[in-house]
Amino acid sequence: MSHAALPVVSWIAVGLLGLITGSFLNAVIHRLPLGISLLNPKRSFCPSCNKTIPWHENLPVASWVLLRGRCSGCAMPIALRYPLVELLTGGLYLLAWGRFGLPLAPVFWIFLSLLVAATFIDFDHLIIPDEITLGGTAAGVFCATVFPSLLGEDLWWRGLVRALIGAACGYFLLWGVVELGKLAFGRRKFRPEQPMAFEIAGSEEDPELLLGEERMPLAEFFYRESDRVEADAASLEINGELLGPGRLTVSHSVLCHGEREWSLQGLGDLMPIRASVNEVILPREAMGFGDVKFLACIGAFLGWQGVFFSLFAGSVIGAVIGVATMALTRGRSGGRIPFGPYLALGALLWVMAGPELLAFYCSHLRG
């Protein structure tokens, strides 16, 4: 093979590696939030019929096209997310290869894979698992130690220090935002004109709060030990027992009504829990702690400058998309908006063009 052909072969190999990694990330995105091991079952399977997918039906992008986006076993649609993640990962790998080459491109492949997995998990489940955030932080510190040029250093210990400073900066910066947000916006109060239905339903493992016509996971309200759902109950029914009016309080472990108290470890034995309420106070967070740990991961790979850039750019992108969504839906979009994907977009911007954008901004700022 000629030397001229080697660069072409390297680009093809990197693109294929990105597609294959994207296929693996699809398994991570599906399994990790559900607590399913990545090693058991070893082979991919259809989420609808549990059919084991043979290798020739698991080729990145191509199999989705050949199967016309449907499972060969049960004919249920295969989500468009699968080829999208594969193509996105392949494209990002090629971009990192073109920008950094060896030895740094493989380091950024790890980081970009973490961004992709975190983004799609956060969109689907409003969480970013510790395996990605804490595991990613450890990976970033390790990579910066082995390849100190990742953070612009030439000595291993300087790379280590820069990565630790970046991780700490990311964690404590966003932790401060979360704490200030809790003080300013930590309680949401409903006071309807007429008594409103209040019910804790679902399974003991995954209970839900039904408030009027709105249905929300109960665990979403208990990020902290001190978080409480409070209600002024006009009437209350617990497992068929009718109770009079009183103050109803629900924490992550205890339900209280007046002087009585029930442990939620046996929540299934208490259901159905129904009430008619005149007022409800719900705890809320400015953002989840998964985002805090995610920014620490970003800081470990990108340093403190990357932390500030990712947070600023992510906030701007999130605000623009949020305003546009509210305008298009006339304020009816509702629900909690994940911030992790916007942090990931900010971090991606820094990886691909951040230092240049920062230099351009500073040069114009000086006039």
Q: Tens-digit pLDDT profile for the chain (367 aa)?
A: 444 455 889 999 999 999 999 999 999 999 999 888 888 888 888 888 888 888 888 899 999 999 988 988 898 999 999 999 999 999 999 999 999 999 999 999 999 999 999 999 999 888 899 999 999 999 999 999 999 999 999 999 999 999 999 999 999 999 998 888 777 666 778 788 888 899 988 877 778 888 887 888 887 788 777 888 998 988 888 888 888 888 999 988 888 988 888 888 877 788 878 989 988 988 877 667 889 999 999 999 999 999 999 999 999 998 898 888 777 876 555 556 789 999 999 999 999 998 888 777 777 766 5
Residue 294 parent element (H or E): helix 289-329
Give the C-alpha separation, 152 to 224, whole Å. 38
Bridge partners (DSSP) listed for residue 254? 263
∠ CA 134-345-129, rounded to 5°: 25
For position 21, what pLDDT does the model report? Answer: 98
C-beta neighbour count of 13 within 10 angstroms: 12
Domain borders along the chain are 18-87, 101-186+288-367, 188-283
Structure tokens of 84? 């999208």
For residue 209, the SS3 value is strand
Q: What is the reported pLDDT for 334?
A: 52
- Contact predicate 255/261, CB 8 Å: yes
At residue 225, the pLDDT reads 78
pLDDT in the model for residue 286: 63
Q: How far apart are CA 69 and CA 233, in angstroms?
A: 49
